[in-house]
Amino acid sequence: MPDTRQDTTQPPLAPPPAPTGDTRTAAGPDPRPGATRPRLPRPRGSRSPAARPRAPRTPGPYRRLLARPGARGFTLGNLIARLPMGMFGVSAVMMIADARGSYALAGAVTATGLGATALVAPWTARLVDRHGQARVALPATLLAVLGGLALVLCVRYGAPDWTLFAAYAATATCPNIGGLARARWNHLLKGDPQALHTANSFEQAADELCFMLGPVLAAFLCGALFPEAGTLVGGALLLTGMVVFTAQRSTEPPPSPSAASGPSPLRSPGLPPLLLVCLAMGMVFGAMEVVTIAFADAQGHRSAAGVVLGLQAAGSCAAGLLYGALKPAGPALRRYPWSIAAMTVLMTLPLLAAQLTGSLPVLAGALLLAGMATAPTMITGMSLIQERTPEGRLNEGMTLAVTGLLAGIAAGSALGGWTAEHLSVAAGYGIPVTAAALSLALALTVRR
C-alpha cells in the first residue's frame, strides 16, 4: 500500500535575495576569495576600547578629609586666622625698633606678650570648652585685635614705654586657633583613628606653612609699606579668619559645662610628662631660630636668615603631609620616642655644618633635612595629648601643650642667644641637640 502519511518536514528555506548596492552582510566576512573583512556600522555614541573612560581614582586621604561636610569652610577660616600667628612677633619688633630705636625694648615687649599668653591662654581655652567656640573665641579675638591696634597707636604717637607692654599684653586673649581646629577634627572624626591621624598631620603642616610664610609677609609689609603695616594687616586677617571659622556652626563641638568645670587636665594621668616634652621641644625651636639668625649675621647675610629658617619649616611641612598620607605602624606611645630619637640625630646636622664648613648654603641644606623630623614628632605628640585629655577639655589640653612650647621657645631663645654671644655661634647649635636629647629622655619616661 502506498504510504499515506503526510511529510511533516519543512522544505529548505530559499536564500534571501541579495541586497542591491552593498553586498556585505552582517553575518561575517564575504566568503568569496580575496574579499576583505567588512566594517560593521558602529552604534552612535560608542567608543573604541582605547577611548573608554578609565575608572575614577580613589581620592587621597586629604581629599577625603576635606570632602566631609563643613570641613572646607572651617579650614579656610582656620588658615586665614592662623597666618598672622607668624606675623605678630616680627611686626612688633620691626615697628617698635623703627620708632624707638631699641631692639632691647622691642624684645622685652614681645617677651611680655609671650608670658601673658602663657598665663591667659589656658583660661580662654577653658571658657571655650565650657561655653562653645563661637561664643568665646570671636569676642576674645576682637579683644586681641584691639590690643594690637592700641600698640600701633601708642608707638605711632610716642606714648610712654609702659603703654607698649600693657597694649601688647592685651593680645594674650587671642585663642589658640590650632587647638580649636584640632578640636573640631576630633569631634568630626571620632571613631576613625586613621582619618584623625591625617587631620593632625594636616594641622601640623598648616602650622609649619604659616610660620614659614608669616615672618616673610610681615617683613615685606613693614619694609615696603610702613612699619605698622604688618600689625594692621595681621589683625585684619586674624579677625576675618575667626569670623569665617566660627560661622561654621555645623562642625563646632558641643560645649561641655560640666566637664569644663572639673579638675584641670594637668591632673590627668600621663599628661604632665607630655607637657614637659613640649617644653623641651620648644627649646629646640627657640634656640635654632636665634642661633641661625646670629650665624647668618656673622656671615654678612642677615637678610637671608628668614629664607634659611623657611627651609627648615618647608622640610617639616613636606614631611608632615607625607606622614599624614601614610598609615603609621603601632600605637603612638611606641612611635613617640623613635620620632624624637630621629629628630635628635638630624639636629646634629646643623651643628656639624656650622662647625665643619661655616657655609650658609650648607647650613640651609642641613636645616632642611633637620626639619623633616619635626612634624612627625609633633603630630605623634599631639595625638598622645588628645588621647590623655579628659572628654570635653580638649581645647584646654591642646592650649596647655602650646603654652609649654611657647615657654620652651622663650627659654631656648635666651639660652641660644647667650651661647652664640659668649661662646661661639657654632656652639649655639649644640643647644637644640641637647634639648632634643632631653625631650627623648622625657618621652621614655612617658612610655614607661
CATH of the domain at 440: 1.20.1250.20
- In contact, 147 and 169? CB cutoff 8 Å: yes
pLDDT at site 57: 65
pLDDT at site 1: 43
Q: Do 323 and 418 belong together in one domain?
A: yes
pLDDT at site 142: 92
CA distance between the termini of the chain? 113
Q: Which stretches of 194-328 are assigned E, i.e. beta strand?
A: none
**Residue 442 is assigned to a structural domain of this protein:** yes
pLDDT at site 37: 52
CA 437/CA 440 separation, integer angstroms: 5
- The CA-CA-CA angle for residues 188, 196, 343, to 5°, reads 150
Q: Do 307 and 200 belong together in one domain?
A: no
Of 231, 262, 293, which closes a domain? Answer: 262
Q: Do 154 and 298 belong together in one domain?
A: no
Q: Do 318 and 231 belong together in one domain?
A: no
Q: Do 183 and 280 belong together in one domain?
A: no
Q: Do 97 and 215 belong together in one domain?
A: yes
pLDDT at site 23: 45
Q: What's the whole-model pTM score?
A: 0.70
Q: Do 258 and 273 belong together in one domain?
A: no
All cell numbers assigned to 366: 642641613
Q: Do 278 and 258 belong together in one domain?
A: no
Q: Do 275 and 347 belong together in one domain?
A: yes
**Residue 65 is assigned to a structural domain of this protein:** no
Of 207, 239, 262, which closes a domain? Answer: 262
**Residue 342 is assigned to a structural domain of this protein:** yes
Q: Do 275 and 253 belong together in one domain?
A: no
Long-range contacts of the stretch 15-18 (C-beta < 8 A, 24+): none
Q: Residue 393 to residues 220, 265, 373, 379: CA-CA distances in angstroms? A: 39, 7, 29, 19
**Residue 437 is assigned to a structural domain of this protein:** yes
**Residue 396 is assigned to a structural domain of this protein:** yes
**Residue 371 is assigned to a structural domain of this protein:** yes
CA 448/CA 446 separation, integer angstroms: 5
Count up the domains in the chain and report the number: 2
Domain span at residue 448 reads: 268-448
Q: Do 226 and 88 belong together in one domain?
A: yes
pLDDT tens, per residue, the chain with 448 residues: 444 444 444 445 455 555 444 444 444 445 455 555 555 555 555 555 555 556 556 667 778 878 888 888 888 888 898 888 878 877 887 788 788 777 677 777 877 787 788 788 888 888 888 888 888 889 999 999 999 899 999 988 888 888 888 988 888 888 888 888 888 888 888 777 778 878 878 887 887 778 777 777 887 787 778 888 888 999 999 999 999 988 888 888 887 766 555 566 777 777 788 888 888 888 888 788 778 877 887 777 766 776 787 788 788 878 877 877 777 666 777 888 888 999 999 999 999 988 888 888 898 899 889 888 888 888 888 888 877 877 767 777 778 888 888 788 778 877 887 887 788 888 889 989 999 999 898 888 766 6
Q: Do 203 and 225 belong together in one domain?
A: yes
- In contact, 286 and 410? CB cutoff 8 Å: yes
